[in-house]
Amino acid sequence: MTPLPPLLVLTDRRGCQRRGRTLLATVAAAVGAGARAVVLREKDLSRAERHELGSALLALLRPVGGVLVIASDLGLAAELGVAWAHLAETDAWPPATAGVGLGRSCHGATSLMRARTRGAAYATLSPVFPSASKPGYGPPLGLSQLSALAREASDLPVYALGGVDAANAGACREAGARGVAVMGAVMAAEDPSAATRGLLAAL
C-alpha cells in the first residue's frame, strides 16, 4: 500500500463555519494548495450524511491523486471504495483488515506499542503541543517525548497531532515524526490555502 503523504488534514466543519466557510470549500482550498490526504471525521453526522460528504471529498481528491481516510467506520470506507481508515484509541480493532490501511489515535507509549503490535499502518500521536481545537486534552508531550516515542515505535510511521502549525511542523519532522496531522491549523485558518502551503513548505 502506498504510504500516506506527510500532511494529513482532519476535517472539522464547525471550525470552518466559524470562519464563514463550508467544509467542502475549505477542503477544496487545501487540496488546491497541495494537500493530498484528508481524514473525514464529523462522526456526529448520520451514516447517510457522512456517505454524501465522503463522496464529495473524493470528488475533490481523486482528480489530483489524493487520499481520503475514513474515521472510525470501516463499513463506510468499504462503501466509498477507499483503502484507508482511522481508528480512535477507544475503537475496537477489527478482526480482519485485508486491503485496508488502518491508522490509530495514540496518546502515549502504551497505545503506540499496541497499535504497532496490531499492525497499524500509521499512528497519530497527540497532543504534541497545546491544542486550541481540544483544549485541556492531556498534557502536551513536547518534542522530546515525540522524538523518544517515534524512535520506540521504530517502523510504525508516527504523525504529530495537536497544536501543530507551520511554525512547528518542521520541528516535528526533525524529531522523527513521519509527518503531521492538523485540524484547526487548516479548518479554522483565515486563509486555508496559505495555511496549507505554509505547512507543506515547513515539511
Kindly give, in sequence order, each residue whose CB lies less than 8 Å from that of residue 172, ignoring residues fewer than 6 positions away: 128, 143, 146, 160, 164, 179, 180
Task: Return the DSSP state at 189.
Answer: -
Rounded-to-integer distance, Cα 126 and Cα 103, Å? 13
Q: Does the pLDDT of residue 98 top 90, yes or no?
A: no
pLDDT (average), residues 169-197: 98
Between 94 and 198, whose confidence is greater? Answer: 198
Domain ranges of the chain: 7-202
Residue given cell 451514516 in the structure block:
47
Q: Which residue type does 163 have?
A: G
> Within a 10 A sphere around the Cβ of 117, how many other Cβ atoms?
9
pLDDT in tens, 5-58: 999 999 999 999 999 999 999 999 999 999 999 999 999 999 999 999 999 999
pTM of this structure: 0.95
**Local structure of 6: helix, strand or coil:** coil
CATH of 7-202, one of 3.40.50.1100, 3.20.20.70, 3.10.20.30, 3.40.50.300: 3.20.20.70
